[in-house]
């Protein structure tokens, strides 16, 4: 079985507990069997936030999770993009964390592999990281322009599910039952319907 890795951005807006997801997003969470894993991840991220001297004092924080998923089998075909069946080829990946305590060094914890963005209630990007650690919030030396731009788009559009394709900067977005594509170029993003993107860019 061939297992290849791509980015998946499952945009779950949280306020340190619970998540919001529309019908298609909920369906895919169940298909990928990651509902409990999301709760576990969010609890871990929340514990990291509570340990941060700045973030721990802020209210109404939101988490946006960019999941690292793989797809099984051959490369995804154009027809599979157009009928959305490619979503069912995706699989989650995980990272191992070992506790620092020497008595528990053989015990490992599995968390969904992600890039997680932390934003304030206005959608301003404050930090990013994963289940292992969160990186400095300001100055945001680890942030790229597309980090900031993508988070703004997530917050503005209230995206349910998004994943980045095999080419860096291409994001597939799902809102309700609609799918479209954002291509990050020098002057910003160009937006396509899924059919337009498949026909012109794949």
Structure tokens at 26: 């909920």
> What is the pLDDT averaged over residues 40-61?
91
pLDDT at residue 69, rounded to an integer: 73
pLDDT at residue 1, rounded to an integer: 41
Q: Which of 86-100, 116-130, 131-145, 173-187 has the lowest mean pLDDT?
A: 131-145
Q: How far is it, in rounded angstroms, from Cα 104 to Cα 195?
A: 51
HEC readout, 139-173? CCCCCCHHHHHHHHHHHHHCCCEEEECCCCCEEEE
Residue 191 near residue 157 (C-beta atoms within 8 A): no
Give 20's DSSP letter.
Answer: B
pLDDT at residue 45, rounded to an integer: 93
Q: How far is it, in rounded angstroms, from Cα 28 to Cα 11?
A: 12
pLDDT at residue 107, rounded to an integer: 64
Q: How far is it, in rounded angstroms, from Cα 134 to Cα 117?
A: 9
Residue 128 has pLDDT above 60, yes or no: yes
pLDDT at residue 202, rounded to an integer: 77
Structure tokens at 4: 């290849």
Give the Cα-Cα-Cα angle 180, 181, 183 (nearest 5 degrees). Answer: 160
Instruction: Render pLDDT for 148-191 as a digit per residue (tens, 0 to 9).
Output: 777 777 777 777 777 766 666 777 777 777 888 888 777 777 88
DSSP string, 108-147: -EEEE-EEEEEE-TT--EEEEE-SS-B---SS-TT--HHH
Query: Which of 189 and 96 is assigned the larger pLDDT?
Result: 96
Half-sphere exposure of 63 (CA within 13 A, CB side): 32
Domain interval for residue 196 = 3-201
Q: How far is it, in rounded angstroms, from Cα 152 to Cα 202?
A: 26
Other Cβ atoms less than 10 A from the Cβ of 86: the count is 17
> What is the pLDDT averaged over residues 11-23?
45
pLDDT at residue 184, rounded to an integer: 76
Instruction: Render pLDDT for 106-123 as a digit per residue (tens, 0 to 9).
Output: 667 889 888 888 988 888
pLDDT at residue 20, rounded to an integer: 37
Helix axes 23-31, 35-51, angle to 10 degrees: 100
Residue 196 has pLDDT above 90, yes or no: yes
Residue 16 near residue 50 (C-beta atoms within 8 A): no
Total structural domains in the chain?
A: 1
Query: Which of 65 and 2 is assigned the larger pLDDT?
Result: 65
> What is the pLDDT averaged over residues 126-141?
77
pLDDT at residue 2, rounded to an integer: 43
Residue located via tokens 């053989």: 106
- The pTM for the full model equals 0.77
């Amino acid at each position: 079985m061939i297992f290849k890795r791509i980015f998946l951005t499952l945009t779950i807006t949280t306020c340190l507990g619970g998540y919001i997801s529309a019908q298609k997003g909920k369906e895919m969470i169940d298909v990928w069997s990651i509902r409990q894993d999301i709760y576990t991840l969010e609890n871990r991220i929340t514990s990291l936030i509570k340990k941060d001297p700045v973030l721990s004092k802020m209210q109404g924080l939101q988490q946006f999770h960019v999941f690292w998923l793989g797809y099984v089998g051959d490369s995804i075909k154009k027809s599979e993009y157009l009928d959305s069946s490619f979503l069912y080829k995706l699989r989650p990946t995980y990272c191992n964390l070992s506790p620092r305590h020497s008595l528990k060094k053989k015990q490992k914890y599995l968390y969904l592999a992600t890039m997680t963005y932390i934003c304030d209630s206005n959608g301003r990007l404050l930090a990013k990281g994963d289940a292992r650690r969160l990186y400095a919030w300001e100055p945001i030396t680890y942030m790229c322009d597309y980090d900031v731009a993508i988070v703004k788009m997530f917050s503005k559009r209230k995206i349910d599910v998004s994943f980045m394709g095999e080419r860096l900067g291409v994001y597939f977005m799902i809102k309700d039952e609609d799918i479209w594509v954002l291509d990050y170029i020098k002057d910003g993003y160009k937006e396509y319907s899924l059919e337009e993107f498949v026909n012109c860019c794949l």
